[in-house]
Amino acid sequence: MFKLLRYLNAKEWILLVITLSFLALQVWCNITIPDCTLQISNYLEMPDISPYWDDIIWTCIQMLLYAVGVVVSAIIAQYLASIIVTSLLTRVRSKVFARVNDFSETEINKFSIPSLITRSTNDITQLQQVYTSSITLGLTAPLTAIFAIIKIVNLSHEYGASALTWVNVVSVLAIIFVVALITILVLPKFKKVQAGTDKLNMVTRENLTGLKVIRAVGAEKEQEKKFENVNNRFAKLEFYIDKVLMLIEPSLSIIMQGTSLAIVWIVGLLAGQNPAITTVILSFTQLSIFVIMSFTSLSILFMMVPRGIVCAKRINEVLDTQTSLKDGNSIPKNTEKGTIEFKNVSFRYPDADADVLENISFSVKPGQTVAFIGSTGSGKSTLINLIPRFYDCSDGEILINGQNVKAYSQHQLHEIIGYVPQKGMLFSGTVKSNIKYGKENATEQEIEKAINISQSNFVYDLPNGLNYHIAQGGKNVSGGQKQRLSIARAIIKNPDILIFDDSFSALDYKTDKTVRENLNKEYSSTTKVIVAQRIGTIMNADQIIVLDQGKMVGKGKHKELLKKCKVYREIALSQLSEEELAK
């Protein structure tokens, strides 16, 4: 938890000092009230109190002022603490978001998406309450307890009632025992609760994203059962923690009431020997309540802090995790434009037993179209994901524009590459804002050109046209429309290299052909990398690379591969007839 305080700025540190000052004032006002009570009790014990009425009234006014001071100081301190904590955790949340944006696929897979969502939301929300309580109770409770115990010891010594001190000692020890026992019982469960939250998010997210498939195959009951299992395990953990925490209030109430009774009983026993002791019974009781309430507050804090520690640890794990993809130290000189070269490249996923890609070598000249084809699982998408450096190759070297991809910064590399994913991904916002993701300062003419080339003219028929609102994930447009808008977003930046990861699969044959013809005409100098399952999409490529189980088993043009590559011929014949292939 303390580690996150490094993100406090200078202004917040000053506010924290001011907050602690008001909390100290609150404690001083609170602990002074029993002194006023004792003074009034002494006056009331006088045989004739008439000469002291002014003093009594003034002491009562002082008590009132101290009480007001307690309330005002507490309100101001709580307000300032809320400002500090909210500002801090807003900054932390932004840093977590930015750190996750820097993660490669390796780090994202390590944490999992549901866990990263939980850490960015639920964990930080939990911390907000813990930090606020830690600032306020963390100072007032121990200070109040310390000063109250000192006053109790002094009064006990003054009135020869050391037994009253021991009453408070026993009470404190009893509270410590209860709190320690409860902490031991619940502390291991807090980590499991946060992990359970991750699992709940995972199952819920999986259910929502796959709802159409679930309904189509009639798997609603199976999904409900899966959720019920996770939900029940989570509920049992929460129920166990709640049951244990429920012991705090009755236990502390018994200790408090027992302490009050013990004080009255001891004062009654001592009153015969020293009648003056009856005047301090109210002060003793007040001070004892301060001690017990302080330890009660600390016990509540101790119950919150373990969960806060778990949450803070999970957040720090994200913030302290460095991306495995390090930016290059030098700025490459782009002597070439649009060239790609793979030199004996192999790739293995983290913790995998075997390579997904083995010894891949090829080169692409500026303006050429290179296509990749192969059976499912052959490594096509993995290979092209190495170009924008979503992963780093395990062996070998990848050159873009004559420079190793590791020499670029992430931003530099992505500026010269336009990427269209296999699944068209749109963001909540307007059609225009989605296209301008590719180029923030794009002009109206550039937007219109990208729309025409990608055959996204359907947007003009939508309500409000370019200002039509796209739902999260593009749920209110079709798959083909999402792919075309994704293509428009990629080409508007006019990159050196365009990558299409099976990005024409949702398009009909006519639209597919038209889009590719537009790209070849308008972006003739741009290198195009295409992954496709359709032979018709890639048969005119300058170079076709055939993959089979991670190995390159063929390289050449369409007609060459039909003659010399068995895998390619089998794929081609599964889609087109001999006559169609001969054209």
> In which band, very low, low, confident or very high, does the pLDDT at 452 lie, cut at 50, 70 and 90?
very high
* Least trusted range by pLDDT, from 30-39, 84-93, 488-497: 30-39
Asked whether 301 and 141 are in contact (CB, 8 A), the reply is yes
Asked whether the predicted pLDDT for residue 71 surpasses 90, the reply is yes
Asked whether the predicted pLDDT for residue 543 surpasses 90, the reply is yes
Rounded Cα gap, residues 347 and 396, in angstroms: 9
Could you tell me which residues come within 8 angstroms of residue 187 by beta carbon, excluding any fewer than 6 positions away? 306
Look at residue 226 in the predicted model and tell me its pLDDT. Answer: 82
Look at residue 215 in the predicted model and tell me its pLDDT. Answer: 72
Could you tell me which residues come within 8 angstroms of residue 390 by beta carbon, excluding any fewer than 6 positions away? 104, 105
* Least trusted range by pLDDT, from 175-179, 271-275, 378-382: 271-275
Could you tell me which residues come within 8 angstroms of residue 138 by beta carbon, excluding any fewer than 6 positions away? 301
Rounded Cα gap, residues 553 and 375, in angstroms: 12
Of 373 and 376, the structure prediction assigns the larger pLDDT to 373
Asked whether 562 and 554 are in contact (CB, 8 A), the reply is no
Q: What is the pLDDT of residues 101-133, one digit of tens each?
A: 888 878 888 888 888 888 888 888 888 888 888
Distances (CA, A) of 189 to 85, 175, 310: 26, 22, 10
What is the SS3 assignment for 158?
helix
Asked whether the predicted pLDDT for residue 161 surpasses 70, the reply is no
Look at residue 363 in the predicted model and tell me its pLDDT. Answer: 92
Rounded Cα gap, residues 276 and 265, in angstroms: 15
> In which band, very low, low, confident or very high, does the pLDDT at 266 lie, cut at 50, 70 and 90?
confident
The Cβ-side half-sphere exposure at 277, using a 13 Å CA radius, reads 24
Asked whether the predicted pLDDT for residue 413 surpasses 90, the reply is no
Asked whether the predicted pLDDT for residue 427 surpasses 70, the reply is yes
Asked whether the predicted pLDDT for residue 280 surpasses 80, the reply is no
Asked whether the predicted pLDDT for residue 216 surpasses 90, the reply is no
Look at residue 77 in the predicted model and tell me its pLDDT. Answer: 92
Rounded Cα gap, residues 432 and 444, in angstroms: 9
Tell which residue, 344, 368, 392, has the closest CA to residue 105. 392
Average confidence (pLDDT) over 37-48: 72
**469 sits in which H/E element:** strand 469-470
Sign of CA dihedral 122, 473, 112, 234: positive
Burial track 318-329 (b if 16+ CB lie within 10 A, e otherwise): bbeeebebeebe
- DSSP for 406-456, please give it: GGS-HHHHHHTEEEE-SS----SEEHHHHHTTS-TT--HHHHHHHHHHTT-
Look at the block and give the residue holding tokens 């007001």. 68
Task: Give the dihedral of Cα atoms 196, 198, 200, 206; nearest 10 deg.
Answer: -150
What's the mean per-residue pLDDT of the chain? 84
Name the range with the highest mean pLDDT among 72-76, 145-149, 217-221, 573-577: 72-76
Asked whether 377 and 351 are in contact (CB, 8 A), the reply is no
Average confidence (pLDDT) over 564-581: 82
The Cβ-side half-sphere exposure at 59, using a 13 Å CA radius, reads 18
Task: Assign 3-class secondary structure to 518-576.
Answer: HHHHHCCCCEEEEECCCHHHHCCCCEEEEEECCEEEEEECHHHHHHHCHHHHHHHHCCC
- Tell if the pTM clears 0.85, that is, is over it: no
Residue count (the chain): 583
Look at residue 18 in the predicted model and tell me its pLDDT. Answer: 94
* Least trusted range by pLDDT, from 222-236, 406-420, 532-546: 222-236
> In which band, very low, low, confident or very high, does the pLDDT at 330 lie, cut at 50, 70 and 90?
low
> In which band, very low, low, confident or very high, does the pLDDT at 539 lie, cut at 50, 70 and 90?
confident
> In which band, very low, low, confident or very high, does the pLDDT at 397 lie, cut at 50, 70 and 90?
very high
Six token digits for residue 497: 């290299």
Distances (CA, A) of 17 to 13, 21, 88, 339: 6, 6, 15, 59
Rounded Cα gap, residues 509 and 19, in angstroms: 68
Rounded Cα gap, residues 111 and 161, in angstroms: 60
Average confidence (pLDDT) over 427-453: 89
Average confidence (pLDDT) over 353-371: 90
Asked whether the predicted pLDDT for residue 346 surpasses 90, the reply is yes
Look at residue 573 in the predicted model and tell me its pLDDT. Answer: 86
What is the SS3 assignment for 318?
helix
Look at residue 263 in the predicted model and tell me its pLDDT. Answer: 74
Look at residue 244 in the predicted model and tell me its pLDDT. Answer: 78
Asked whether 36 and 153 are in contact (CB, 8 A), the reply is no
> In which band, very low, low, confident or very high, does the pLDDT at 159 lie, cut at 50, 70 and 90?
low
Q: Considering the chain, what percentage of its residues have pLDDT values greater than 70?
A: 94
Look at the block and give the residue holding tokens 């259910």. 207
Rounded Cα gap, residues 380 and 377, in angstroms: 8
> In which band, very low, low, confident or very high, does the pLDDT at 332 lie, cut at 50, 70 and 90?
low
Sign of CA dihedral 40, 42, 44, 49: negative
Hey, what domains does the chain have and what are their CATH numbers?
2-320 (1.20.1560.10), 340-582 (3.40.50.300)
Look at the block and give the residue holding tokens 């999904």. 223
- Strand duo 417-420 + 403-404: pairing: unpaired
Rounded Cα gap, residues 337 and 36, in angstroms: 85
Look at residue 139 in the predicted model and tell me its pLDDT. Answer: 86
